Chain A
Amino acid sequence: VCIHRVRSCSSIRFIKSKYVCVFDKSALKFSHQQRLFRTSAVSCGQIVQFKLSDIGEGITEVTVKEWYIKEGDSVSQFDSICEVQSDKASVTITSRYDGIIRKLHYSIDDIAFVGKPLVDIEIDASKGVASEEDVVETPPMSHDEHTHQEIKGHKTLATPAVRRLAMENNIKLSEVVGTGKDNRILKEDILNYLAKQTGAILPPSPKAEIIQPLPKSETVAAAPKDKARKIPVPVSRPIVFSGKDKTEPVTGFQKAMVKTMSAALKIPHFGYCDEIDLTQLVQLREELKPLAEIRGVKLSFMPFFIKAASLGLLQYPILNASLDENCQNVTYKASHNIGIAMDTEQGLIVPNVKNVQVCSVFDIASELNRLQSLGSAGQLGTSDLTGGTFTLSNIGTIGGTYAKPVILPPEVAIGALGKIQVLPRFNGKGEVFQAQIMNVSWSADHRIIDGATMARFSNLWKSYLENPASMLLDLK
């Protein structure tokens, strides 16, 4: 029974691999039957020894540097098998056959010899050994288009599996753009071609739309009066999707994040949000920007936000504290090391500006410039990335208004700043004016911080920013 199964589906490559898997699984379970399965599998195909072909320049031996396949993998003709090196030349060896890799004759760094077997490939006995030529001989098919191998003097390269896929979907290979090596047509090319074709079969008249069987989700959109609107019609032919799920282990930085975030969620968070009118600050920054530039520093809004936060922390030091593991002691940190969440290729990193309580807005801006350029070059050191006591996350540069930031242990509070939007607001006289509005979302550790404290801190911070001149009164 099993022999019969293999023979009937060996010509369709993607189904073949599924059956190969079944064999492997059953082979594991029934050890005494294992030999039975194996011999039956072997008798289905012929093992061919694929020899290492001539490299040129009289070279007789090469070093195997990388295998692209392993034993048991399916290969198609022209797939890369391995990379070998000889005297400054790197050579990609490609398969001459379709089949399954049964044996690798060399390990990495072994010397391989020209003319000697490189791999053993099991090919389907019914197909026979493929010829040395570039064109693959296909089994006889009734449609001329599909055996159409020569187009204007060029040979269409495609494996039998790809040709079958094309035939099943009534596609002329001559109309498909090949993106593989030597313009070879790959499965993806057929699928791309199919995807484009679905667009082309839209019916021209609304009447036709009603007649066509529409899926449930499309019936809502069906407005037959509107000729201009094209309602996608489901294709009657089966669409083949060949995308595969990809599983990767969680490593390195991600692993560390998993730990930190799991710990962070043990903290009972509460949120507090508000809206800040930055109209005056925007104006102030415009005035100060050129002055900072003369001194070689780019001035953004962050230095103001950071300094205002530090002034607030002087009044509400519990927000700059740390709770120990057993929740026995609260440590009020003397330094305001305010962290700025940065998004990098690695993920989230939070460098901090040290001792903001003794820094001027300009000092902070200058330090931010330094951290930002190191951050984008991926060269931030451990001292810049540790020792933070309070964090601000300017997610608004990417977008968004309100957020629910997660506290970064061992801190007890964090603020997320939304984007600055121009919105209509009422002034004291009841007139509407253009206001520069930014939203802030705070999260705090409810074990030691209560809502009132957070609200008062936020109000103070807000007052400094809405009326920047008031910061002058409290600057140390």
Chain B
Amino acid sequence: MVLQPSLKNCLWLSCILRTPKAGFRSTASGARIVQSVSNDVYQNLAVEDWIHDHIDLEKQQVLFLWRNSPAVVIGRHQNPWQECNLRLLRQKNIKLARRRSGGGTVYHDLGNVNLTFFTTRKKYERMENLKLVVKALKALRPQLDVHVTDRYDILLDRHYKISGTAAKLGRTSAYHHCTLLCNADKLVLSSVLKSPYKGLKSNATPSVPASVKNLFEDDPSLTSEMLLDAIAKEYATQHKIDHHITLINPADETLLPGINNKTNELQTWEWVYGKTPKFSVSTCLNMVYKDSVLDVKVNMDVKHGRIEVCNIDLPEQWLPPALYSELVKSLTGSKFCPRETTTLATTLLRMCPQDDELHSRWNLLCENMIMLM
């Protein structure tokens, strides 16, 4: 469909109005509230990208409301190995996503609400947005003790973090998004956000851990839907628009042309892991073999998520030298990823002499290496 740029914006406006009210369309709407019908973190992050790239925010600001099924979301320049327990994520089938905004790592589930405030670069104002959220919470439940800190966090009862903030600025548009804990699973949150990986050295943005609390704990009558509604209402009041939330489907290619490409890009290994800033791993494997414990020093440099340099300090002749060098050569350049390493290691084993002792040593070493990833 060949559309002129001006028509494209109109299509967006007209297509997504569910119940077009004559009055609504005729007023000069300086803002709009949209909510995603999907709980897929990649689809929702893709919507953010899409709005950022395609909507003329000079004409209207946008508030985007979304929730995700269990996922860990790291900031643009972070190191997932440093930030979370990747092994646990894989076991529990919790998704890992890297967002395009900066900041730290957060855990999302349906008990957490996400808000994205889209404005032009000039109108980018995080404090105002957070004050709006606090005002909405207080209007909903006046007894809640919530306030905004100068680190752009929202604290409950002066002490517990219930919201974290991050932002993305482009050439002409900007967005500020934040989380809000209503009734998230705190046990899962604390277990997935604890990294078991030792010996990592990197310049990636570190997260600042904080004690968290759910709003639900102070007031069990609260639900995520109520929070979303209250914030939408406050936004509508402040922007002088109707309190009308438009639902959008992030899989709708007609409404959001190019959205599926964006969703796919966010799921690629190259984006999620490959964008990790260069880091090094320097640790010691304690391998229990027969009746002794072997201390094996390992040093690796990882760039773009791939092993650039690999050194494994094995006792001499523990593995045939040719085999050892084959392993190191194959690891160099391959992804710092358990799947890849397992496949690599087991494939290489086919080339070895069929010796049970050799096989068990090889498997032991490879399994220990995989634990680092």
Contacts and interface: CB of A to CB of B under 8 A. Distances in A.
B343 interface: yes
Given A249-B333, A251-B306, A347-B343, A89 B167 contact: yes
Contact of A410 (B90, B174, B342, B354): B354
Interface string B331-373: 1111100111011111111110110000100010011001000
A66 B77 CA distance: 9
A413 to B, nearest CB: 15
A196 to B, nearest CB: 8
Contact of B169 (A66, A92, A344, A410): A92
B354 A83 contact: no
A179 to B, nearest CB: 7
A381 B342 contact: yes
A295 interface: no
Interface in A266-320: none
A89 B5 contact: no
Contacts of A177: 1-4, 8
B366 A251 contact: no
Interface in B140-186: 152, 165-172, 174
Contact of B351 (A57, A89, A151, A263): A263
B169 A90 contact: yes
A382 B5 contact: no
Contacts of B334: 251-253, 255
B26 interface: no
Interface stretch (B38-46, B61-69, B95-103, B216-224): B95-103
A256 to B, nearest CB: 4
Contact of A90 (B77, B104, B126, B346): B77
**Size range of the interface on A?**
35 or more
Contact of B77 (A85, A152, A176, A387): A85
Contacts of A151: 4-6
A89 B347 contact: no
B163 to A, nearest CB: 12
A90 B257 CA distance: 25
A156 interface: yes
A89 B342 CA distance: 37
A377 B165 contact: no
A346 B5 contact: no
B197 interface: no
A92 B170 contact: yes
Given A89-B102, A89-B166, A179 B344 contact: no
Interface in A145-193: 151-154, 156, 174-179, 181-183, 193
B244 interface: no
Contact of B347 (A91, A251, A260, A322): A260
B324 interface: no
B170 A256 contact: no
A409 B350 contact: yes
Interface-central residue, A181, A324, A379, A382, by most chain B CB under 10 Å: A382
Nearest to A380: B342
A79 B363 CA distance: 48
A183 B169 contact: no
Contacts of B103: 88-90
A90 B101 contact: yes
B191 to A, nearest CB: 18
A109 interface: yes
B93 interface: yes
25 contacts: A56-B124, A65-B76, A86-B102, A88-B104, A88-B165, A90-B101, A90-B102, A91-B169, A94-B171, A152-B4, A156-B5, A181-B171, A183-B8, A183-B54, A251-B306, A251-B333, A255-B330, A260-B348, A344-B339, A346-B339, A346-B340, A379-B338, A379-B339, A382-B367, A383-B363
Interface of B: 1-6, 8, 53-54, 75-77, 90-91, 93, 100-104, 121-122, 124-126, 152, 165-172, 174, 203, 205, 257-258, 275, 277-278, 306, 326, 329-335, 338-340, 342-351, 353-354, 359, 363, 366-367, 370
Interface of A: 55-57, 65-66, 78, 83, 85-92, 94, 108-109, 134, 151-154, 156, 174-179, 181-183, 193, 196, 249, 251-253, 255-257, 259-260, 263, 322, 324-325, 331, 344, 346-347, 349, 377-383, 385-387, 408-410
Given A89-B102, A177-B1, 13 more contacts: A85-B76, A88-B75, A153-B6, A179-B258, A252-B330, A253-B343, A255-B334, A259-B347, A331-B354, A377-B93, A379-B91, A386-B363, A387-B359
Question: Which 5 pairs show the lowest CB-CB distances between chains A and B?
Answer: A252-B334, A251-B333, A88-B103, A385-B346, A90-B102
